[in-house]
Structure 1
């Protein structure tokens, strides 16, 4: 299997593994599903303030 050959190849100095197309996105999705998506405090305050202005119920 080509993926196994590629993944089993020697890495260049400074790299711990070889990633195949789509793998970085998959790994990011896994982390975000586990930990959530980071939203800076200022951005979150703006979202909450806009929700209040529009008469929406409080966002958790």
Structure 2
């Protein structure tokens, strides 16, 4: 019985660490995606500004 308890505790610990890892990975992925979106938007805005600035005055 004591060995069963030991392996059960290990399984619980493993599950917990997997959960932590997955939630951290999810947060990381979300953060990365948000950062990429911000960068893309910034580039798009910069391109638009550059195009309007580089047009010759009429």
Q: TM-score, normalised by structure 2?
A: 0.28
Higher helix share: 2
Bigger-Rg structure (1/2): 2
Q: TM-score scaled to structure 1, two decimals?
A: 0.27
